[in-house]
């Protein structure tokens, strides 16, 4: 770890929010607002304790303003005494008319098309896969224009996938095919960046070690 941090001036931790009411209900959350469950709050607090015990520090927490991410970030910021700011561009996918609907509701009323190019809108009125990729490019650029340091970002599983696409040089494909990165509730990825060489290093993915005593 020490050798990595000598070679890379940015350490970026990408964290998915804790369990939300929408997760429990099994809906496509998108931009719909759902609060954390008690389990979700416990997950966030367990993570804060885990990082405290491990001596993990951050210079800044940046969060999506959506309630499930905001509440997760606030628990971490208060426990770790790290400044917190909210950025609109870290919100989840705008999935149009799918927001807040269960899979059965979507299949019944608005079946998925057989083919979607990266340029087709999700849920009729939402972002396209390409829109997501471009938005991810904006937030990654803004991250590495900050001073070198350690940053924690609290966001959403769908959008964090596109952020990793940008960092790792992967392009969107039709029908959302291609690489997928697993982010369970309060799991996180750790990525290092060296701007002098423009090298990204994915060091950790879907880390949930702080939940080893909790029911998966």
Tell me the DSSP string of the chain.
Answer: -HHHHHH-SEEEEEEEPPPBHHHHHTEE-TTS--PBPHHHHHHHHHHHHHHHHHT---SEEEE-SSHHHHHHHHHHHHHHT--EEE-GGGSPP--GGGTTEEHHHHHHHSPPPS---TTSBTTTTS-BHHHHHHHHHHHHHHHHTSPSEEEEEEE-HHHHHHHHHHHHT----GGG-S------TT-EEEEEEETTTTEEEEEEEEE-GGGTTS--
Report strand pairing: 10-16 vs 149-155: parallel
- The CATH homologous superfamily to which domain 2-210 belongs is Phosphoglycerate mutase-like (3.40.50.1240)
Global pTM value: 0.93
Position 215 scores a pLDDT of 52
Position 213 scores a pLDDT of 66
Half-sphere exposure of 72 toward its Cβ, with a 13 Å CA cutoff? 35
Position 108 scores a pLDDT of 79
**How is the chain split into domains, by residue range?**
2-210
Low-confidence ranges of the chain (pLDDT < 70): 1-2, 213-216
Closest C-alpha to 143, from 79, 207, 89: 89
Distance CA 216, CA 207 (A): 13
At 190-213, the pLDDT tens digits run 999 999 999 999 999 999 999 986
Residue with tokens 């927001």: 99
Position 216 scores a pLDDT of 46
At 150-204, the pLDDT tens digits run 999 999 999 999 999 999 999 999 999 999 999 999 999 999 999 999 999 999 9
Altogether, the residues listed in the chain come to a count of 216
């Amino acid at each position: 770890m020490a050798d990595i941090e000598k070679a890379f001036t940015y350490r970026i931790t990408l964290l998915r929010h804790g369990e939300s009411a929408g997760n429990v209900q099994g809906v496509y959350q998108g931009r719909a607002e759902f609060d954390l469950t008690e389990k979700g709050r416990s997950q966030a607090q367990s993570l804060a304790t885990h990082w405290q015990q491990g001596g993990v520090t951050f210079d800044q927490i940046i969060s999506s303003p959506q309630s499930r991410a905001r509440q997760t970030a606030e628990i971490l910021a208060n426990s770790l005494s790290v400044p917190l700011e909210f950025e609109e561009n870290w919100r989840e996918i705008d999935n149009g008319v799918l927001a807040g609907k269960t899979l059965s509701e979507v299949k019944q009323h608005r079946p998925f098309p057989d083919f979607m190019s990266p340029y087709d809108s999700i849920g009729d009125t939402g972002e396209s896969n390409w829109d997501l990729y471009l938005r991810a490019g904006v937030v990654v650029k803004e991250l590495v224009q900050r001073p070198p340091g350690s940053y924690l970002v609290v966001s959403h599983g769908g959008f964090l996938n596109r952020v990793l696409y940008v960092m790792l040089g992967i392009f969107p494909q039709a029908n959302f095919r291609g690489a997928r990165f697993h982010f369970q509730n309060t799991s996180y990825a750790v990525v290092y960046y060296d701007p002098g060489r423009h090298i990204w290093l994915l060091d950790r993915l879907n880390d949930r070690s702080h939940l080893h005593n909790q029911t998966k």
